């Protein structure tokens, strides 16, 4: 099955549910729109993705440290960052279908259709008109574009549109017992500001010298106008962000370095490089002087997974102004005080999770002349696999389970491993294929005599006989963090 189809995407979503990767939140109450829970295998995969990111940022870089800031922040943070006034999406409703859309996305879809039809001049002109309207916050202009280009509602097929309105994406709530406006706080819409407000705390207590970075993994919340495509666009999601502080004037050099480093990080997972690309921003955010997305070819097309932004000194300067606290760094090498410039790398953990699922899920035809057969496999990079090895006694008796548990008890100190004695061995292999376990270790009668076992490899289905004493090394060589991290240095 081609991976660029709705059917493939549906199979990813149903596989994720069937095997305990992702569930709809509060499903027994019919779910909550665009909110998802990670199940027993999903949370393992997610933790492994976080570990991969954290180790590659913090452990492999002498000049990057990590923090864990609170979700709630002083409300002035969001005034200073521009989110209270500017974190809006232009929305529009179709009066017939009662469906709500992002006006800019309706226009982007039209541009893609022009491109698909070979109308490149029309596509370029429309893109320019869109950028002009967005840069000028011209909501009436967006509406005119939608009308002029005969953009219809995908559901009702009509052009019966409301005006375009701005919609702030931040969730607000009350802190403390008083329910008046003074106590209003926000669920953070990005993790970055927790890093900016702690810039000097970390720099001073960690005796950090510029250039240096601060990394963080945490939840972010956005009241997305339209939330769809599974865990692609959620209202509660997780970000992995790193802000890299550098000397003014050097930022574009660092921007290019991080742009390259981050793509290399994605490609080190070993998936097809043709499904990854850069997308340079046409419309720069008010704080940025360069920005690029790393896009992945999802079943619904190339979409952003990670953003790399040169944010200038905008955020620190704003916090200096609003807090009246100096956000400056004294650079002993040039004997000067300055507000550092910042390069941000910001990746959505849930989107990354989806790229890994889409890349890994395959159905293989194993039919022979005699019989029809196929298997569903999650070909995860071994270091990311939720279960690293399954230990399978050939039978449930004669001391084989005890021998298998001995192996389990050694390997479980370092890895998440599973024991399974139910059903025929072939069926157990298939169960492990479907959850992406890189190797199955089968304990048989010979194992009791000569302390060897059979390893069956997920991807090739090949089998080999190895000594039990070698298992720790074999699992480590295949699925250990060092094997993956070595590709980055």
Which positions touch ligand ATP (CB under 6 A)? 190, 222, 224, 233-234, 237, 239, 304-307, 346-348, 350-351
Smallest gap from Cβ 220 to ligand ATP, in A, equals: 7
* Residue 354 or 475 having the CB closest to ligand ATP: 354
Other CB atoms within a 10 A radius of the CB of residue 257 amount to 14
Q: Counting Cβ atoms within 10 Å, is residue 443 exposed (0-12), middle (13-18) or buried (19+)?
A: buried
CB-based contacts of 327, cutoff 8 Å, min separation 6: 199, 200, 316, 317, 319, 320, 339
Q: Least distance to ligand ATP from the beta carbon of 352, Å?
A: 7
- Please say which residue, 90 or 480, places its beta carbon nearer to ligand ATP: 90
Angle, CA of 409, 17 and 269, to the nearest 5°? 65
Which residues make beta-bridge pairs with 214?
A: 65, 243
Shortest Cβ distance from residue 474 to ligand ATP (Å)? 35
Between 32 and 474, name the residue whose CB sits nearer to ligand ATP.
Answer: 32
As measured in angstroms, the least distance from the Cβ of 305 to ligand ATP is 5
Q: Report the alpha-carbon distance of residue 326 to residue 136 in Å, rounded.
A: 32
Shorter beta-carbon distance to ligand ATP: residue 234 or 391: 234
Whose Cβ is closer to ligand ATP: residue 251's or residue 293's?
293
Closest approach, Cβ 350 to ligand ATP, in A, equals 5
Least separation in angstroms between CB 328 and ligand ATP: 27
> Which residue, judged by CB position, is nearest to ligand ATP in the bound state?
348
Beta bridge partners of 481: none
**Residue number, 243 or 447, with CB nearest to ligand ATP:** 243
What does each C-alpha distance from 384 to 35, 102, 449 come to in angstroms? 23, 35, 34
Q: Which structure tokens are listed for 173?
A: 């709530």
Closest Cα partner for 214 from 60, 49, 68? Answer: 68
Provide, rounded to whole angstroms, the least separation between the CB of residue 51 and ligand ATP.
18
The reply to whether omega before 211 is within 30° of 0 (cis) is yes
Residue number, 292 or 475, with CB nearest to ligand ATP: 292
């Amino acid at each position: 099955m081609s991976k660029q189809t709705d059917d493939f995407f549906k199979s990813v979503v149903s596989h994720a549910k069937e095997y305990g990767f992702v569930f709809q939140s509060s499903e027994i109450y019919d779910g909550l729109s665009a909110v998802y829970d990670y199940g027993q295998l999903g949370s393992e995969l997610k933790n492994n993705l976080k570990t991969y990111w954290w180790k590659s940022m913090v452990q492999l870089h002498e000049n990057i440290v990590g923090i864990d800031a609170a979700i709630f922040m002083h409300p002035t943070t969001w005034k200073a960052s521009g989110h209270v006034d500017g974190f809006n999406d232009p929305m529009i409703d179709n009066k017939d279908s009662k469906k709500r859309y992002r006006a800019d996305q309706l226009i982007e879809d039209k541009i893609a259709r022009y491109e698909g039809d070979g109308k490149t001049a029309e596509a370029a002109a429309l893109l320019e008109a869109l950028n002009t309207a967005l840069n000028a916050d011209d909501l009436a202009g967006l509406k005119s574009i939608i009308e002029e280009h005969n953009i219809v509602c995908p559901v009702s097929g009509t052009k019966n549109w409301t005006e375009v309105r701005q919609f702030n994406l931040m969730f607000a709530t009350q802190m403390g017992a008083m329910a008046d406006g003074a106590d209003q706080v926000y669920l953070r819409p990005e993790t970055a500001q927790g890093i900016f407000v702690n810039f000097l705390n970390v720099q001073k207590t960690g005796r950090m010298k510029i250039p240096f970075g601060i990394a963080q993994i945490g939840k972010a919340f956005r009241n997305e106008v339209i939330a769809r495509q599974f865990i692609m666009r959620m209202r509660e999601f997780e970000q992995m962000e790193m802000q890299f502080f550098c000397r003014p004037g050097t930022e574009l050099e660092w921007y290019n370095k991080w742009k390259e480093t981050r793509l290399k990080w994605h490609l080190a997972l070993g998936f097809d490089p043709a499904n990854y690309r850069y997308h340079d921003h046409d419309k720069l955010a008010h704080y940025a002087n360069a920005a690029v997305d790393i896009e992945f070819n999802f079943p619904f097309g190339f979409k952003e997974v990670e953003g790399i932004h040169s944010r200038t000194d905008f955020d620190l300067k704003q916090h200096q102004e609003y807090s009246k606290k100096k956000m400056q760094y004294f650079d002993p090498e040039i004997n000067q005080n300055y507000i550092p410039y910042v390069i941000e790398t910001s990746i959505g953990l849930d989107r990354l999770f989806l790229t890994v699922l889409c890349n890994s899920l395959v159905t293989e035809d194993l039919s022979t002349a005699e019989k029809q057969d196929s298997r569903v496999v999650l070909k995860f990079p071994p270091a990311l696999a939720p279960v690293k090895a399954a230990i399978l006694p050939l039978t449930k008796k004669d001391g084989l389970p005890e021998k298998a548990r001995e192996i389990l008890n050694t390997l479980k100190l370092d890895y998440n491993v599973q024991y399974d004695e139910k059903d025929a061995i072939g069926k157990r292999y298939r169960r492990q294929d479907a959850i992406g376990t890189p190797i199955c270790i089968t304990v048989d009668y010979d194992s009791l005599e000569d302390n060897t076992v059979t390893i069956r490899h997920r991807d090739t289905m090949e089998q080999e006989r190895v000594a039990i004493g070698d298992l720790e090394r074999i699992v480590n060589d295949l699925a250990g963090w060092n094997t993956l991290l070595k590709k980055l240095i």
